[in-house]
Amino acid sequence: MNAVRIFFIGGYLAYRALFNWIHWTMYVPTMLGGPIFQILFFAYIGRYAGLQSDEFFVIGNAVAISSLGGIFGMAMTIGGERWTQTLSSILVTPANRLALFLGRALPNLLNGVIVSTVGFVFGWLLLDFSLTAAEIPVIALIVVVTSFSCTAFGTMIGAFGLRGRDIFFFANLMIFVFLLFCGVNIPIDTLPDWMQAVSKVLPLTHGIDAARQVAAGASLGDVSGLVLTELAIGLFYAALAYVLLRLFEFDGRRRASLETI
């Protein structure tokens, strides 16, 4: 029961504590405005160059922006504790570590789903893009799974925040790596072989592919392999993140360096 309370209530309070200073007037342009203009930017470049349809860019970018909350949110949620000098107060408690860290991931996962949903809505309002009623639930499931895998990856990045000085540089770098490697705006089959190999082990790649196939008329059964692969990638990064968090916690205790900046 305590683990459940830590997961839900602890995660919620931690999210509020670290992000309560962000007024909605800051949230909208940062988490919603920027992604919307990202979708419009690439869609209009695609139109001008005659490379792909609006649908290609809307789906690729609307799914990809779910990574913003997961990666930056978890980098700030875990790495930010070190900057605010509250990390040792948390880790000195006997709280279940799995509930403690995964509970902090849940609000960021939901944030990624919200941002992605807004991206799809504005793509529908402003560009030549639409979904049928039957496609929307499948796309929603894909977005949730993809947001989970990105949040798990962000948790892994946040784990390095227990040791690294500037984890936010790495978080920014990975956002651009995803844009280049995961088929967001460039078809995977046009990339060099080594980039295609890397893309297969990154979040987003299989989720974006599944969403595009659904928009083209495929059913959930047709893309179930891609969705399960995306989920498996997320579970792998979640497990790796947990191992790294415990490892760096133990090492930080041994070195007395948990809050050394």
pLDDT of residue 10: 73
Could you tell me the pTM of the whole model?
Answer: 0.87
pLDDT band at 122 (very low <50, low <70, confident <90, very high): very high
7 or 152, which is more confident? Answer: 152
Split at pLDDT 50, 70, 90, the class of 4 is confident
Reported as a single tens digit per residue, the pLDDT across 213-247 is 999 989 999 999 999 999 999 999 999 988 888 88
Computed over every residue of the chain, the mean pLDDT equals: 84
Integer Cα distance of 218 and 221 in angstroms: 8
Q: How confident is the model at residue 53 (pLDDT cuts 50, 70, 90)?
A: confident
Work out the pLDDT band at 153, boundaries 50, 70, 90. Answer: very high
Domain segments of the chain as ranges: 2-255
Across the range 117-133, mean pLDDT stands at 91
Instruction: Check if the beta carbon of residue 146 is closer than 8 Å to that of residue 207.
Output: yes
